[in-house]
């Protein structure tokens, strides 16, 4: 795995073996974000989950990840999710850079890259929601 290290944290490529952990982290964070006090269990993932492209680890444990999503302006955006105690601006910026680099290497930076990403997100979400 190609990794960058910052203050003991390793930022690297996302691999399928980390998918379960990333999905669990996403669901856990979404459940915490229900401000109305409702039971906010997430059973179905949506496009907001995005396509994971990079992870940040500490002591071989995934503590955050970055996903590519398509925002409301139909532009590619990198979103980062962290366990709250690990969120640091320096780490977020490095994770976004790694994810953006992985996105360009995978999908390119042309007019068709957004449609390719959209299709990849839809396929991943459909598969995870089976």
Segments of the chain with pLDDT less than 70: 1-3, 32-41, 85-87
Query: For residues 35 and 31, what is the distance between their CA atoms, to the nearest angstrom?
Result: 9
Q: How far apart are CA 114 and CA 102, in angstroms?
A: 14
Contact between 99 and 67 under an 8 Å Cβ cutoff? The reply is yes
Q: Which two tokens stand for residue 55?
A: 């992870």
Q: Which two tokens stand for residue 89?
A: 């601006």
- Domain borders along the chain are 3-128
Q: What is the pLDDT of residue 44?
A: 87
- Rounded to whole angstroms, the Cα distance separating 58 from 124 reads 26
The pLDDT assigned to 2 comes to 62
| pTM, to two decimals | 0.86
At residue 89, the pLDDT reads 80
CATH class of 3-128: alpha beta
């Amino acid at each position: 795995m190609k990794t960058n290290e910052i203050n003991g944290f390793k930022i690297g490529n996302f691999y399928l073996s980390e998918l379960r952990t990333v999905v669990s982290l996403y669901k856990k964070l979404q459940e915490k974000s229900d401000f109305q006090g409702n039971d906010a269990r997430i059973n179905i993932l949506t496009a907001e989950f995005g396509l994971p492209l990079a992870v940040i680890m500490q002591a071989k444990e995934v503590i955050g990840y970055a996903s590519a999503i398509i925002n409301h302006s139909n532009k590619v955006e990198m979103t980062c999710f962290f366990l709250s105690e690990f969120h640091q601006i320096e780490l977020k910026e490095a994770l976004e850079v790694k994810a953006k680099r992985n996105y360009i290497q995978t999908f390119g930076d042309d007019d068709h890259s957004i449609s390719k990403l959209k299709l990849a997100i839809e396929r991943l979400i459909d598969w995870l929601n089976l």
